[in-house]
Amino acid sequence: MAFNTGIESFLKIKGYSIARSESGKKVIEFEKDPIANDFWDYMSAHSSIRTVFNAFIKSRELESHNSLERLSKFLEEAETSFVFGAYCKNTNKPCQIILDRPNLLESNFKLPIKHRTTCPTCKFRNTFSKEDYKPIFKLEFRDIVKFFLKGCKKNVFRIAYSVSCYFCNKDAPFDEKIPTIKRCSKCKNISYLSTQFILNPEIENLIKDTHGYWLEWFVWKLTKGRLKSEIGLLIEKENKKIECDIVLWNGKLIVIECKDTTDESFISKLTSLNKFADYFVLVSTVKLRKDTLETARDILKQKFIYVKPSDIHNSVNIILGISKKS
C-alpha cells in the first residue's frame, strides 16, 4: 500500500526517509480482508463492545467469576456498558430496585424512550425516560453470551460445540443427530453439551501475542476517513529511527500512540518525539496510572493529549480540536 502522499511529501521536505514497519504491514494486510468490514461494524457500534472485546483477548474467557469481576472494572474505567438499569423512583420510600434492565445488544444500542412499570416492593408507579437509565458495569453470564452471539452474526466469532464428560474429562465433537444428553462411551456417566466461541482466524492473527494492533487498526480507520493518516511508519533521519502512527492536519504533525495494556514503555521515546512532532496523542483502552500521565506531560507539556477509554470513539474530533487551537 502506497504512503499517503501528503504525509510522505511533508516528511521528505523535512529530510526524513520513511518505510513501513512490520506492524504497519500486518494492519494494512488485515484491512484488505473482507472480515475487516464486519469487524469494523461490530467494534464501532458501541464503546462497550470494544471494552469487552479487549477484556476477552486478555483473558481468553469471560465466563468465570474472576473474569467477570475484571470485566466490571474495565467497563467502569471506560464509563460504558451495553446493559443499563432503571431504578425505582419513589423518593419517599427508596428501595433502589432495578425495574428495567435492557441489554442494548438487542435494541441496536438504543435505550427505551418511555417505559412504565409498578415497583413490586413499594407499589410506586414509575415512568422511565432515557435519562433514567444508568450503565450497569457488573455483567452476568447471559449478557456475555449475547455479546458473543452478536459477534457471530458479524463473523467475528463462530460457535463450536462439543459433548463433554465431567467425570473422565473426555470431549467429543457434537453431532446434531445424536441427543444433546447422552452417555460417555468410557465411563457411562451422562455427558453434556459444551459451547465455545472461537475468534475469526484473521482477527486472531491481528491480535496474536497480545499486541494492540486491533486498536491501532481501529484508530487508523477512525482517522483516515477525515484526516491525512498513516499507520506503522518507520521514520529515519541522521541515523535516528522512530516507529509511529501519524496524522497530518492543519500543517501540524501529530503522532498517535495506541495502548491496550498498562505497559509504560512509550515514555522512553517521548524525548525524541518531542523534537519531531507538534502533538503526541495517547489513545488507551485501559486506565493508566496518574504518575505515568504526569511524566508524559512533564516531558511534552502542552503537546501531550490523552484520550481516555471512554473517548476513543471521539478521537478524530479531539485531534481536530487541538490542532485548530494552535
CATH number of the CATH domain containing 29: 3.40.1350.10
Q: Is residue 294 one of the residues assigned to a domain?
A: yes
Give the residue among 298, 307, 287 at the shortest CA–CA distance from 247: 307
Cα three-residue angle 25-30-33, rounded to 5 degrees = 135
Q: Which of 111, 135, 159 is the last residue of a domain?
A: 135
Show the domain range for 214. Answer: 5-33+208-325
Kindly state whether residues 314 and 257 are assigned to the same domain.
yes
Q: Is residue 71 one of the residues assigned to a domain?
A: no
Q: Cβ–Cβ contacts within 10 Å for residue 33, how many?
A: 15
Number of helices and strands in the chain (H, E): 11, 15
Kindly state whether residues 171 and 238 are assigned to the same domain.
no
Kindly state whether residues 158 and 54 are assigned to the same domain.
yes
Q: Is residue 79 one of the residues assigned to a domain?
A: no
- Cβ atoms of residues 163 and 196 within 8 Å: no
pLDDT at 174: 60
pLDDT at 173: 60
Kindly state whether residues 162 and 127 are assigned to the same domain.
no
Q: Give per-residue burial for 213-231: e unless 16+ CB within 10 Å, then b.
A: bbbbbbbbbbbbeebbbbb
Q: Is residue 42 one of the residues assigned to a domain?
A: no
Give the residue among 235, 236, 238, 237 at the shortest CA–CA distance from 246: 235
pLDDT at 99: 96
- Cβ atoms of residues 96 and 157 within 8 Å: no
pLDDT at 90: 93
Q: Is residue 39 one of the residues assigned to a domain?
A: no
Kindly state whether residues 201 and 56 are assigned to the same domain.
yes
pLDDT tens-digit readout, 163-179? 776 677 666 666 655 55
3-state helix, strand, coil in the chain (%, to 5): 45, 25, 30
Kindly state whether residues 184 and 218 are assigned to the same domain.
no
Q: Which three cell numbers stand for residue 267?
A: 515514555
Kindly state whether residues 52 and 170 are assigned to the same domain.
yes
State the Rg of the chain over Cα. 24
Q: Is residue 95 one of the residues assigned to a domain?
A: yes
| DSSP helix/strand/coil, 4 | coil
Kindly state whether residues 230 and 320 are assigned to the same domain.
yes
Kindly state whether residues 126 and 154 are assigned to the same domain.
no
Q: Which of 135, 152, 174 is the last residue of a domain?
A: 135
pLDDT at 183: 64
Q: Which of 176, 205, 234 is the last residue of a domain?
A: 205
pLDDT at 325: 55
Q: Where are the alpha helices (DSSP H) in the chain?
A: 5-13, 22-32, 35-43, 47-59, 65-78, 141-153, 201-207, 213-224, 270-276, 290-300, 315-325
User: Which residue ranges in the chain fall short of pLDDT 50?
Assistant: none
Kindly state whether residues 189 and 312 are assigned to the same domain.
no
Kindly state whether residues 151 and 122 are assigned to the same domain.
no
Contacts of 124 (CB under 8 A, 6+ apart): 88, 89, 90, 93, 118
Q: Which three cell numbers stand for residue 15?
A: 529530510
Q: Is residue 164 one of the residues assigned to a domain?
A: yes
Strands (E), 157-227: 157-165, 170-173, 182-183, 190-199
Kindly state whether residues 248 and 315 are assigned to the same domain.
yes
Q: Is residue 9 one of the residues assigned to a domain?
A: yes
Q: What is the pTM for the complete model shown?
A: 0.85
HSE of 222, CA atoms in CB hemisphere, 13 A: 24
Domain count, the chain: 3
Q: Which three cell numbers stand for residue 144?
A: 456475555
